[in-house]
Amino acid sequence: MTRALTDDRRYTVEEYFQIDAGSEVRHEYVDGQIIDMAGGTDRHSHVIANVIGSAWSRLRGKECQVRESNVRVRYGRRVQYGYPDALIVCGPPQFDSTAPRETTLLNPRVLIEVLSDSTEAYDRGRKFERYREIESFVEYILIDSDRPSVDVYRRQRSGLWTLEPYSGIEATVPIESVGIEMPLTEIYAGVVFPPGTDAELTMPSSPEKS
């Protein structure tokens, strides 16, 4: 999704909550600034919906559950807030008591972002830096919306993060911390990739009736 600073002034957390609650547009709160999260493309939304559906079907009945992008997370050494495209939380959700109602999670285990041209550098860089300060957070899944490609960052016991890329429509992405796998055929089901990317989605054809 595209991102634009509202202005250069610094806001308090209380002001941020008031603005975010009264707006149809979601906002991040970073270093005292309020950042607009503008709407994404149909393809971006399609991929998010596929991911949530695929994860939900595999986590049904388990202690870990998927959440969509209306749930806010708190992160960073400074008090900061944002909205991942999707997340997985395990066990009882822990909520930020300073935020209104049960709107802001403190203990996501997996964070998922669907990349766009305007946000990829931020999602891989500064946003990931801030996310890494969440103690419960152990897997970061970055999904390309223009071709069948998924990068998974995993926190090791040493505290270091390692990257494992998965590409090609026949690949399967393991989400190790919650014990599930998601095929790229499900993540990109029905997605029409942009022309010229050499990333056509070829789904298995139905057997012909004799």
pLDDT of residue 62: 94
pLDDT at 73: 95
Q: How many percent of the chain have pLDDT more than 70? A: 88
Residue 201 has pLDDT above 50, yes or no: no
Cα distance between residue 89 and residue 184, in whole Å:
22
CATH fold of 41-187 reads tt1808, chain A (3.90.1570)
Tell me the C-alpha distance between 200 and 8, whole Å. 42
Whole-model pTM? Answer: 0.87
Residue 100: pLDDT band with limits 50, 70, 90: confident
Residues in the chain, how many? 210
Domain chopping of the chain, boundaries: 41-187
26-76 pLDDT, tens digit per residue, is: 888 988 888 887 667 899 999 999 999 999 999 999 999 999 988 999 987
The CA distance from 189 to 185, in Å, is 6
